[in-house]
Amino acid sequence: MNDRARRWVGLFVVAVLAAAGARAAHAQQAAAPRIGVVDLARVFKDYKKSAVLEEKINGERDQLKAELDGIKKKISDLNKELDLLDFGSDSYRAKEEEKARLVGLYELKKRRLEDRIKRRWQEYNVELLDDIGAVVSAYGKEHGYTLILKVDTDPSDEQKLLAGLRNVLYFAEQIDITDQVVAILNRRYQLEGGKAARPAGGSGGRGAATGDR
């Protein structure tokens, strides 16, 4: 083999080794897990749609409470009338029966109000979680994340006592993608025209009951 042939062989070997090294480095990089965390409580707080839904629920609650206050006032007025009537008279019995009817109606409407507002929170929480889940999933795929976990950076005293049951006990700030998720959610929400909520019975149906947040 002459010198020229040996040089070509040498160059070929170097190129093969370089390509193999590049492939190995790429494989190692691809195999390295990329982990992120999202502070779910902060997303709920900063996602603009959350405030809109909460305002809608409060408006519905105020409207229903006004009905209860109206019944409560009628009961109070009847109590004043009863104080002026003779106990055992026909008028007294009639007013007493009317009061009993209103008290029963008040208790019934109060239970319905509580159930309705609780159901609304469940529906809206699931709607928000659907939005968040879709954005986190898309963000994770686009940016090559292996795993994205939820965290709580401001736990209650009860949550602190249950720290052993938390998903993540420590994480570095560099893997926190909460701000990016919130920004995407709010940008998408604005592009959709700031819709308040999907129609009742819409996607997913709600199941994450949280009560008043």
Place of tokens 């409060």: 58
Q: Rounded to whole angstroms, what are the CA distances from 59 to 66, 125, 175, 185, 211?
A: 11, 17, 38, 24, 16
Whole-number pLDDT of residue 27 = 53
Which helix (H) or strand (E) segment holds residue 114: the answer is helix 90-142
36 vs 7: which has the higher pLDDT: 36
pTM of the predicted structure, to 2 decimals: 0.64
Q: Which residue has the higher pLDDT, 14 or 57?
A: 57
d(CA 102, CA 6): 105
pLDDT number for residue 161: 58
**Distance between CA atoms of residues 102 and 96, nearest Å:** 10
How confident is the model over 95-131, as pLDDT tens digits? 999 999 999 999 999 999 999 999 999 999 999 999 9
Residue type, 191: L
Second CATH level (architecture) for the domain 29-191? 2-Layer Sandwich (3.30)
| pLDDT grade for 20, boundaries at 50, 70 and 90 | low
CA–CA dist 124, 51 (Å, integer): 11
